[in-house]
């Protein structure tokens, strides 16, 4: 029985190593495809959106593949103590959550950059030129806040008091920045209405 248990442990260990190696090879193949093959494919399209998306997912996608491989490899190691296995699974889950958040943030940023570089210059309004950088940062912040809330849930941390505290703090900040916000929205209104142009006498 002991020999069987020992042999099964070695089998699990070898399977885990095989999974990690396969994940590494897949990540390397993905990198080569994105760097060498994909650019030739997207160069034939009329839009530059695919170029932005390739740059956005290149690095994070490889890290995601490796993280998933390590997660699956650890799941096959039945000989690990329960506490170590649970903590390791929790840690890898948190890493995966933030990697996905980073990928989503990068893709959103790529879409906004594409719009700012290719679409906004062709429009008559200057509103999109002003809002695009702000939107990129705002969306990225929202994505990582949501990811952090998910991580707190994974760690079984009660987020209701935290949300209440953030709500009160948000109200205080909004009241303190009321004049600043009014100036910002006033500038947006002026840009959208375009009552003045360069060369006009005021």
- Domain spans of the chain? 2-157
186 burial (CB, 10 Å; 0-12 / 13-18 / 19+) is: exposed
Q: Residue 3 pLDDT > 50, yes or no?
A: no
pLDDT at position 1 is: 44
Of 3, 5, 18, 15, residue with least CA distance to 79: 5
Q: Residue 170 pLDDT > 80, yes or no?
A: no
Q: Residue 177 pLDDT > 60, yes or no?
A: no
User: CB neighbours of 99 closer than 8 A, spacing ≥ 6?
Assistant: 60, 63, 64, 67
Banded pLDDT at 29 (limits 50, 70, 90): very high
How large is the average pLDDT for residues 179-201?
A: 55
**Count of other CB atoms within 10 angstroms of residue 105:** 20
pLDDT at position 164 is: 66
């Amino acid at each position: 029985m002991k020999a069987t248990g020992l042999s099964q442990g070695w089998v699990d260990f070898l399977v885990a190593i095989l999974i990690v190696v396969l994940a590494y090879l897949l990540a390397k193949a993905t990198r080569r495809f994105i760097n060498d093959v994909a650019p030739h494919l997207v160069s034939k399209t009329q839009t530059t959106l695919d170029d932005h998306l390739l740059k956005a997912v290149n690095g994070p996608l490889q890290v995601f593949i490796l993280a998933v491989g390590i997660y699956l490899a650890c799941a096959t190691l039945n000989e690990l103590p329960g506490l170590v296995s649970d903590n390791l699974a929790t840690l890898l889950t948190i890493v995966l959550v933030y990697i996905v958040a980073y990928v989503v943030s990068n893709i959103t940023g790529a879409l906004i950059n594409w719009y700012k570089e290719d679409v906004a210059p062709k429009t008559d309004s200057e509103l999109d030129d002003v809002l695009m950088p702000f939107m990129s940062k705002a969306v990225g912040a929202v994505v990582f806040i949501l990811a952090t809330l998910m991580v707190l849930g994974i760690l079984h941390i009660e987020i209701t008091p935290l949300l209440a505290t953030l709500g009160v703090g948000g109200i205080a900040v909004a009241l303190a920045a009321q004049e600043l916000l009014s100036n910002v929205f006033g500038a947006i209104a002026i840009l959208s209405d375009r009552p003045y142009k360069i060369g006009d006498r005021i």
